[in-house]
Amino acid sequence: MREFYGVALATPLMLGTAQYPAPSVLEAAFRQSQASVATVSLRREAGAGQAFWDIIRGLGVHVLPNTAGCHSAREAITTARMAREVFETNWIKLEVIGHADTLQPDPFGLLAATEALAADGFEVFPYTTEDQVLAGRLLDAGARVLMPWGAPIGSGLGLNNRYGLRTLRAAFPDVPMVIDAGLGLPSHAADAMELGFDAVLLNTAVAQAGDPVAMARAFAMAAQAGALAHAADPMEPREMAAPSTPVLGQAWL
């Protein structure tokens, strides 16, 4: 498992903490997911209170605060600094939203916020697109992890641009990358891991499922299966059939 700012995660699944029907469901889903990281919004913590934070602490996982809902670099930087005080970590999932309908990141605000936060000692996990130019600039600005989207947040569409994601992974082979947003099915998580990504992050697909606990377990198994498949060096697709049983020794009539 690749390290994230010097931290090796036990599993390749990161899970969000919003939208669950009840705190008990949140806790049970996390247990079944075997997630190594819980993403938490400062705004949710402010509204949920001590009981919510006690649940998160009790999970025994790494906490990744996020700047969800921020629409400017200034707002994201301020939120990140507040989150560091509340959650006592330099990790920050940096979101700077640029489009109201797709929730696509604002590349200019994201780059500015990454540079400022990295200089301030944060370990930035920028939520970005599959754009290779932007990825390079984010790394130059001080990010050591990239979190390209699979599809718009909460859409459940899976990997919308497989070509873009595949070429991004190939362009920066030594950079830890997490597919973040848009995953709706366990097969989407397996797909991302099979492409060589190091982890997946999701929330809605589990929290809003008919049975969040069962879905969490399904995502846990899928992410692990995808990681194992990638490590096993899978066969390349081919256009022609290739018999698994050799012709040698076949009876001739």
Q: Which residues are annotated as a binding site for 1-deoxy-D-xylulose 5-phosphate?
A: 154, 181-182, 203-204
Cβ-contact 182, 215 below 8 angstroms: no
Q: Is 203 left (phi over 0), alpha (psi -120 to 50) or beta?
A: alpha
What CA–CA distance (Å, rounded) separates 66 from 92? 6
Asked about 221 being catalytic, the answer comes back as: no
Amino acid at 80: A
Q: Of the listed 93, 169, 188, 217, which one is catalytic?
A: 93
Q: Which residues lie closer than 8 Å to 150 by C-beta, 6 or more apart?
A: 157, 158, 159, 160, 165, 179, 180, 181, 182, 183, 188, 192
Which of 217, 183, 179 lies closest to 198, judged by CA?
179
How buried is residue 78: exposed, middle or buried, by Cβ count under 10 Å (0-12/13-18/19+)? middle
How buried is residue 234: exposed, middle or buried, by Cβ count under 10 Å (0-12/13-18/19+)? exposed
Chain center to CA of 185: 14
Cβ-contact 128, 135 below 8 angstroms: yes
**Annotated binding-site residue numbers:** 154, 181-182, 203-204
Residues annotated catalytic, as ranges: 93
